[in-house]
Amino acid sequence: CDVKDKEIATCPNQDIIDKLSELMELHKAKPGQEDHWRAFAYSKGVTTPIRALKHHPTRIKTYEEARSIRAVGDKTARKIAEILETGDLRRIGYERTEDVQVAQILQGIYGVGRTTAYKWYSAGCRTLDDLRNGVGGVKLSSVQEIGLQFYDDINERMPRSEAEAIFNLIKPIALSIDPNLFIQIMGSFRRHDNRYVSLPTSLTLPNIRGKSSCGDIDILITRPVDDGKTHIGVLPRLLEALHSAGILTEDLAIPDDLYDLEATYRGLCRLPDVLNSKRRRIDFLTVPWKARGAALLYYTGDDIFNRAMRYKAGAMGYSLNQRGLHAGIVRDPQDRRVKINEGELELCIFFLRPSEQLL
Cis check: omega of the bond before 88, within 30 degrees of 0: no
Task: Specify the pairing of strand 280-286 against strand 217-222.
Answer: parallel
Q: Any contact of residue 249 with ligand DCP (CB under 6 A)?
A: no
Q: Which helix (H) or strand (E) holds 49?
A: helix 33-54
Q: Any contact of residue 303 with ligand DCP (CB under 6 A)?
A: yes
Q: Any contact of residue 306 with ligand DCP (CB under 6 A)?
A: yes
Q: Any contact of residue 342 with ligand DCP (CB under 6 A)?
A: no
The CB-of-213 to ligand DCP minimum distance in angstroms stands at 7
3-state secondary structure of 116: helix
Taking the CB of residue 11, how many other CB atoms lie within 10 A of it? 19
Using CB atoms, what's the residue nearest to ligand DCP?
A: 301
The CB-of-63 to ligand DCP minimum distance in angstroms stands at 33
Do 153 and 280 contact (CB within 8 A), yes or no? Answer: yes
Q: Which helix (H) or strand (E) holds 285?
A: strand 280-286
Do 43 and 27 contact (CB within 8 A), yes or no? Answer: yes
- Region near ligand DCP per CB under 6 A, out of 27-35, 85-93, 228-236, 299-307: 299-307
- Catalytic (active site) residue 4: no
Burial class (CB in 10 A: 0-12, 13-18, 19+), 275: exposed
**Measured from the CB atom, is 262 or 302 closer to ligand DCP?**
302
- Which of 49, 147, 187, 267 is the binder for Mg ion (CB under 5 A)? 187
**Measured from the CB atom, is 114 or 211 closer to Mg ion?**
211
Q: Which residues of 317-330 are buried (b: 16+ CB within 10 A; e: fewer)?
A: ebbbeebbbbeeee
Instruction: List binders of ligand DCP among 175-214 (CB under 6 A).
Output: 187-188, 214
**Measured from the CB atom, is 121 or 182 closer to ligand DCP?**
182
Per-residue contact string for residues 31-70; x = within reach of Mg ion by CB under 5 A: ----------------------------------------
**Measured from the CB atom, is 187 or 324 closer to Mg ion?**
187
Q: Any contact of residue 218 with Mg ion (CB under 5 A)?
A: yes
Q: Any contact of residue 299 with ligand DCP (CB under 6 A)?
A: yes
Pick the catalytic residue from 19, 28, 30, 79: 79
The CB-of-306 to ligand DCP minimum distance in angstroms stands at 4
- Which of 130, 193, 218, 250 is the binder for ligand DCP (CB under 6 A)? 218
Task: Specify the pairing of strand 324-327 against strand 319-321.
Answer: antiparallel
**Measured from the CB atom, is 2 or 218 closer to Mn ion?**
218
Instruction: List binders of Mg ion among 188-217 (CB under 5 A).
Output: 216
The CB-of-203 to ligand DCP minimum distance in angstroms stands at 14
**Measured from the CB atom, is 89 or 309 closer to ligand DCP?**
309
> Distances in Å between the alpha carbon of 32 and those of 38, 100, 115?
10, 12, 8
- Rounded to whole angstroms, how far apart are CA atoms 105 and 43? 19
Q: Which residues bind Mn ion (CB under 5 A)?
A: 216, 218, 283
Q: Edge-to-edge strand order for the sheet containing 344-347?
A: 319-321, 324-327, 344-347
Beta strands in 36-195 (DSSP E): 158-159, 182-185
Among ligand DCP, Mn ion, Mg ion, none, what binds residue 111 when CB lies within 5 to 8 Å by partner kind?
none
The CB-of-101 to ligand DCP minimum distance in angstroms stands at 22
- Rounded to whole angstroms, how far apart are CA atoms 240 and 229? 21
- Rounded to whole angstroms, how far apart are CA atoms 325 and 293? 9
**Measured from the CB atom, is 280 or 326 closer to Mg ion?**
280
Phi, psi of 259 (to 5 degrees): -100, 20
Active site residues: 79
**What are the residues binding Mg ion (CB under 5 A)?**
187, 216, 218
Residues that bind ligand DCP (CB under 6 A): 187-188, 214-216, 218, 298-299, 301-303, 306
